[in-house]
Structures are given as structure tokens and as C-alpha cells.
Amino acid sequence: MKDIRRLLPAEEILYFADSLHCPYGNKPTEIIRQRAQAISSFLLSQGAKMIVVASNTTSIAALNEVRQTAGVPVVGIEPAVKPASSATRNGRVGVLATGVTLAGERFVSLVERFGDGVEVHTQPCPGLVEMVEKGLLDHPETEALLAGYLNRLLDVGVDTVVLGCTHYPFLRPLVEKLTGDGVITIDTGLAVAKQVSRVLENHDLLTPHRVPGHEHFYTSGNPRDIQPVIRKLWNDPNLTVEQVLV
């Protein structure tokens, strides 16, 4: 969302945080599909002209279904295996992600298509999403949890780490601190923002306005708990978050 905002400053952005049902990484695929459909329907009811499935786990589990039913362009997200395969110097790439993402057919296909000649080492990261959801980005407990996961990748010699969950870029400074200067860290934020811009332009959906757009934040959780975290992550102490139960 931050990369989309930087690239498309005049667009209205609707953001739905499914905090009541988070994390998705340990949920059955069918539940994730149901949540994706319910949230997409709500966003469409608010006038969304495009859906961005801003979750690797949800894209792996539900992207095809959302595309079939949304009636508007849909952009999904997948771990950056392709750019990591191009960036690695020693041919060893590590992917931090949720268990659902790593076990999904779309991820397996991704590795088969773009990981040829490269060792792709995967590391599920239970608990990291919850730490970001609490806003504990530089907490000692977060660092200890992340260090354990990264060390397993560093032990097999990876020189490139993919942040395969959209929560993890908030931990990028911590990742780079723990891996050191010799390891490349890659996420997909800018690439997805560029794709959003291309698709809007191709469908003649870019706003004609030049004034700055607004952000509208919704959550399925308790706004009293969620609002302080989103204010911290979005770096806006005055934004408000509305509860919507879908």
C-alpha cells in the first residue's frame, strides 16, 4: 500500500485489515477463500475499481476465485523468487513465508518456473505476523524469533532472502541487521505497485484528478486495538480505522 501510494498519489485507497481472523498462515485453504470473497465483496460495495490481494498466503489460496467473481481487475502477490534468482551470486536463495504460502501449488509452480539452476530454501515463520500485528517491530522477542528463522537459511549459505509475506517488509531493517551486508533482501512492494499502475492504465481506470487521494482503513477486529498499530505502520497519528464485520 505504501508503494502504491507513492506511485499513485491521487488514487483513493481502501484498506481492509482482517485482524479478527489473522493470521491466515495456519488456516485451512477453504477458510482463506471464504475470507477473501467476503472482504472483496465489501470493498466492491465501497466502489473499488480494482482489488489488490495484498497477501501472499491469500494469493496462493484464493486469487483465482477472486478473479472469477470480482468483476474488476485483480492483482495478486507472489514471493519474489524470480528477481531473487536473478540477484543471487552463489545460487542459494532463502524464502521467509507462511506455511500455507510455501505449501501452495502456486509457490511450487513459481519455483519450478523461475528457480531453475538455483537452490531455493524455504523457511516457514510462525509467530512473525502476530508480532507485526502488535506493532512490535523492534522488540527483543521479535528479533529472537526472526534470528532463529534467518539462521537456518544462513546456515545453508543463502546470499539472498525473499520476504514472502506482506507483513515482513515492516521487519526489513531487522532482517538486514541480522543478515549483515553480504545478504540481499528482496520484497515485492514496488513491483506490485507498478503492476497496479499498469493494469489501471490498460483498463483506462486511472483517476483524472490531480489532488492527493485519501486512505480509508477498515478492520474486522477491535479498532481500539488495531488503530494504534495501523497509525504506527502508516506513520499517521491521526488516521481512523472503522470496524466492519463481514
Q: Print the domain residue range for 47.
A: 2-77+190-243
* C-alpha distances in Å from residue 50, one per residue of 29, 37, 76, 188, 242: 23, 14, 11, 18, 21
Position 46: which residue type?
Q
> Cβ atoms within 10 A of the Cβ of 113, count?
11
On whether both 148 and 125 belong to a single domain, the answer is yes
On whether both 178 and 91 belong to a single domain, the answer is yes
On whether both 48 and 131 belong to a single domain, the answer is no
On whether both 102 and 47 belong to a single domain, the answer is no
- Please answer whether residues 10 and 117 qualify as being in contact, where contact means their C-beta atoms are separated by less than 8 angstroms: no
On whether both 142 and 90 belong to a single domain, the answer is yes
On whether both 88 and 183 belong to a single domain, the answer is yes
On whether both 20 and 93 belong to a single domain, the answer is no
On whether both 168 and 219 belong to a single domain, the answer is no
- pLDDT tens per residue across span 201-240: 999 999 999 999 999 999 999 999 999 999 999 999 999 9
Give the count of domains, the chain: 2
Task: Look over the chain and give the mean of its residue pLDDT values, rounded to a whole number.
Answer: 94
**pLDDT on residue 104:** 82
Alpha-carbon dihedral angle through residues 160, 166, 167, 171, given to the nearest 10 degrees: 30
**pLDDT on residue 127:** 93
On whether both 69 and 147 belong to a single domain, the answer is no
Instruction: Tell me what the mean pLDDT of segment 40-52 comes to.
Output: 98
Instruction: Tell me what the mean pLDDT of segment 89-107 comes to.
Output: 90
Domain stop point among 159, 187, 215: 187
- pLDDT tens per residue across span 131-176: 998 889 989 999 999 999 999 999 999 999 999 998 999 999 999 9
183 DSSP 8-state letter: S
Q: How confident is the model at residue 101 (pLDDT cuts 50, 70, 90)?
A: confident
On whether both 175 and 96 belong to a single domain, the answer is yes
Q: Indicate the range of 64-73, 97-106, 144-153 predicted with least confidence.
A: 97-106
CATH number at residue 163: 3.40.50.1860
> HSE of 135 in the Cβ direction (CA atoms, 13 Å)?
11
On whether both 179 and 230 belong to a single domain, the answer is no
On whether both 17 and 64 belong to a single domain, the answer is yes
Between CA 147 and CA 215 the distance in angstroms is 34
Write the DSSP string, 79-147: --HHHHHHH-SSSEEEEEE-HHHHHSHHHHHHHHHH-TTSEEEEEE-TTHHHHHHTT-TT-HHHHHHHH
